[in-house]
Amino acid sequence: MKRSELVAQIRLKKSMLCVGLDTNISLIPEFLRHKPDAIFQFNKAIVDATIDYAVAYKPNIAFYESMGISGWQALEQTVSYIRSLNRPIFLLADAKRGDIGNTSKMYAKTFFEQMDFDAVTVAPYMGEDSVTPFLEYKDKWVIVLGLTSNKGASDFQFLEFDGKPLYEHVITKVQQWGSPENLMFVVGATQTKYIEHIRSIAKDYFFLVPGVGAQGGSLEDVCEYGMNTDFGLLINSTRDIIYASGGDDFADIAGQKAKAMQTSMQKFLK
Amino acid sequence: MKRSELVAQIRLKKSMLCVGLDTNISLIPEFLRHKPDAIFQFNKAIVDATIDYAVAYKPNIAFYESMGISGWQALEQTVSYIRSLNRPIFLLADAKRGDIGNTSKMYAKTFFEQMDFDAVTVAPYMGEDSVTPFLEYKDKWVIVLGLTSNKGASDFQFLEFDGKPLYEHVITKVQQWGSPENLMFVVGATQTKYIEHIRSIAKDYFFLVPGVGAQGGSLEDVCEYGMNTDFGLLINSTRDIIYASGGDDFADIAGQKAKAMQTSMQKFLK
C-alpha cells in the first residue's frame, strides 16, 4: 500500500486503529477452541466485526509460529481472507526480524512474497544490511523499532551517546536508508513524554504505536503529541478488543470496542 | 543440553564446529531440487556426512519460513531426524527473535516445545523481558547478539556510552539475567580484534562465532583470542561446507570440508 492510500483510508474511516491479532488458542472462546481451524475462524470473526473501524491489522507472528504448521496455515488463511475482501487494508506482520543481508532478504520474501503483507517490524541492532533488503520491494514497508513500550526498553534504548539516547540515534540513522514512503517507527504509547520529541526528529514518518490500553498508554496523549499533518499514527490495540469478551458474543463486543476506539480517535482527525 | 555435556562433546569430537543449515532451494544440487521433500533430503545428507565432525547444527529459520508451510515441514523434519539419531547434538535455531514478554514466551514455545531445539538466537534491543522468557526452560539456551559479523554492526554496536561501546553494555548487562549455563553470545569472526576484549568481559560464556570462511573471518585468530578453559566457542561454517559442491557429490564434499575444519580446530583443542 502506498502512503497516500493509507492517509486516504485514515481520512475516510476517521480512524488510525490497528487491530492486533495475537490469537492464542487458550484465550479464544471455548465454543471455538476445538474446531480444526479455530484460530482462523476467530480471526475471521474479529476482522468482519472490526473492519469498518480499523485501517490496519497486525498479526503477531509468534502466536502462529508457536502452533507449528497449523499456526502457519491459520496465518496464511487470515492474510488471504483479508485480501479476499478487496478493501484497502494495511496488513503488517509483527515479527521483529532482522539478520545479515542474505538472511533479511529471506525474511522479506516470507512476508512480501510468500504472504501478502504490506509491512514487517524489524529490530535495528544489526544495522543497515539487516534493514535494507525489506526496502527493495515497491509499496512495502519496514517498521523499525524505535522506542518500545515494554519495561526492558530502559535497558539499552536510553543509553546516551553524545548526549542523545540510543533510540534517537536509531531513528535518525535509519532515515538515511529509506523515506516516509517506505519506513515507519515503533514508538510505544507508554513513552508519551518522549513522543513529542520523537515527532520532532521524524516529522513526516508514520509511527506504529502499541501499548494503548492493556499496557497503560493514553490515546489522548499519543494523539496530542504524536500526530503530524498526514495523521502519522497507526495506533494498535489488541487485548482490549479481541479478548474483550470470552463468550459467544466475542465478535460483537470486539466490534463495539473497536467502534469506541474509532470514536475516541475521531475528534483528533478533523 | 547441559553445558557439561556440550564441553564433553567438544572434547570427544575434538571439534567446536557448528554447521549452518541455510538451505536454499535454488542453491541445492539440481538432481534434488524437484523432489517434494528436497530441503529435508539435502539436510539429511549433510547431517549424515558431517555429524562425526560437528558438535552443533544451526538451521537459519529465515530460509525455511520463506518457503511457507513446506519450509516449516522441512524444518520440523530436520529437527526430528537429528534427534532420532540419538547422538548428543547441540541444535540451535538461528532466528534472531525478541519481543515484549508475552510474545517472547510464544517464541520460546515455538523453538523449545513445538520443536526440540537447545538454543535460540535473540536480539537484545528490547531488553530484559524480551530475553528472560527463553531462560525459564531447563537446559535450554539463549544466544544473545553481542557483536555481529556483518557490515551493519558498525551502525549502532560501536556507539560509545560512558566510554564503552553498546555491544559491551549488552554483553555485561545480559549476564545479570542468566549464567554461563544458559546464556551465550554471538561474536562475529570478522571482529577478531575485539574478541580478546569480549572474552575478558565474559570469561566463562560460550560464544557462537559466525563469519569464518565466506564472510572472511580467520579460524586461527578466533581460537587464539576467543577460547577459554572450557573451550568456550561454537564456530559456525555454512556456505563453505553445505555448498562446497553443487553436484551429486555434495554430501561427500561437505563431509570432507567439515573434516578439514575439524582437523584445523584439533590443534587448539589439546
B54-104 per-position pLDDT tens digit: 999 999 999 999 999 999 999 999 999 999 999 999 999 999 999 999 999
Are A63 and A22 within 8 A, CB to CB? yes
> Distance (Å, rounded) from C-alpha A144 to C-alpha A185?
5
Reported as a single tens digit per residue, the pLDDT across B17-55 is 999 999 999 999 999 999 999 999 999 999 999 999 999
For residue A199, the distance in angstroms to the closest alpha carbon of chain B comes to 21
Q: Is A138 noted as a catalytic residue in this protein?
A: no
Task: Kindly list the residues from chain B whose CB atom is less than 8 angstroms away from the CB atom of residue A76.
Answer: 68-69
Q: Inform me whether the C-beta atom of residue A114 falls under 8 Å from chain B C-beta atoms.
A: yes
* Angle separating helix axes A38-50 and A250-266, nearest 10 degrees: 40
Q: Inform me whether the C-beta atom of residue A155 falls under 8 Å from chain B C-beta atoms.
A: yes
For residue A268, the distance in angstroms to the closest alpha carbon of chain B comes to 29
State residue A37 phi and psi, 5-degree precision: -115, 45
Domain that holds residue A180: 3-266
Are A184 and A190 within 8 A, CB to CB? no
State residue A91 phi and psi, 5-degree precision: -115, 115
Its pTM stands at 0.97
> Distance (Å, rounded) from C-alpha B253 to C-alpha B264?
17
**Counting Cβ atoms within 10 Å, is residue A101 exposed (0-12), middle (13-18) or buried (19+)?**
middle
A96 and B99 in contact by Cβ < 8 A?
Answer: yes
The chain A residue lying nearest B186, using CA atoms, is A126
Q: Which amino acid makes up residue B5?
A: E
Q: Inform me whether the C-beta atom of residue A154 falls under 8 Å from chain B C-beta atoms.
A: yes
- Whether ipTM tops 0.90, in short, is yes
For residue B171, the distance in angstroms to the closest alpha carbon of chain A comes to 11
Task: Write the CATH number for B150.
Answer: 3.20.20.70
Reported as a single tens digit per residue, the pLDDT across B135-150 is 999 999 999 999 999 9
The chain B residue lying nearest A169, using CA atoms, is B156
**Counting Cβ atoms within 10 Å, is residue A87 exposed (0-12), middle (13-18) or buried (19+)?**
exposed
Q: Inform me whether the C-beta atom of residue B80 falls under 8 Å from chain A C-beta atoms.
A: no
Closest CA to A80 of A109, A51, A39, A117: A117
Can you give the pLDDT at residue B211?
Answer: 82
Which residues of chain B from 32 to 71 reach within 8 Å of chain A, CB to CB? Answer: 60, 62-63, 65-69
Task: Kindly list the residues from chain B whose CB atom is less than 8 angstroms away from the CB atom of residue A73.
Answer: 69
Per-residue pLDDT of chain A (270 residues; tens, 9 = 90+): 999 999 999 999 999 999 999 999 999 999 999 999 999 999 999 999 999 999 999 999 999 999 999 999 999 999 999 999 999 999 999 999 999 999 999 999 999 999 999 999 999 999 999 999 999 999 999 999 999 999 999 999 999 999 999 999 999 999 999 999 999 999 998 878 899 999 999 999 999 999 887 777 889 999 999 999 999 999 999 999 999 999 999 999 999 999 999 999 999 997
- A with B: how many residue pairs have Cβ under 8 Å apart? 180
Given a cut of 90, is residue B237 above it in pLDDT?
yes
> Mean pLDDT throughout B232-239?
96
Can you give the pLDDT at residue B210?
Answer: 93
Considering only the beta carbons, identify the residue of A63, A68, A170 that sits closest to B156: A170
How many C-alpha atoms does A171 have within 13 Å on its Cβ side? 28
Residues linked to residue A83 through DSSP beta bridges, in sequence order:
none
For an interface test with B, the pick among A126, A185, A215 (most B C-beta atoms closer than 10 Å) comes out as A126
> Mean pLDDT throughout B262-270?
92
> Mean pLDDT throughout B100-115?
97
Reported as a single tens digit per residue, the pLDDT across B153-207 is 999 999 999 999 999 999 999 999 999 999 999 999 887 889 999 999 999 999 9
Are A12 and A55 within 8 A, CB to CB? no
Task: Kindly list the residues from chain B whose CB atom is less than 8 angstroms away from the CB atom of residue A109.
Answer: 66
Q: How many domains does chain B have?
A: 1
Can you give the pLDDT at residue A22?
Answer: 97
Q: What is the 3-state secondary structure (H, E, C) of A18-64?
A: EEEECCCCCCCCHHHHCCCCHHHHHHHHHHHHHCCCCCEEEEEHHHH
A106 and B169 in contact by Cβ < 8 A?
Answer: no
A98 and B99 in contact by Cβ < 8 A?
Answer: no
Joined grid coordinates for residue A169: 540515534
Sign of CA dihedral B113, B117, B119, B122: negative
Given a cut of 80, is residue B216 above it in pLDDT?
no
Considering only the beta carbons, identify the residue of A68, A103, A129 that sits closest to B62: A103
For residue B8, the distance in angstroms to the closest alpha carbon of chain A comes to 31
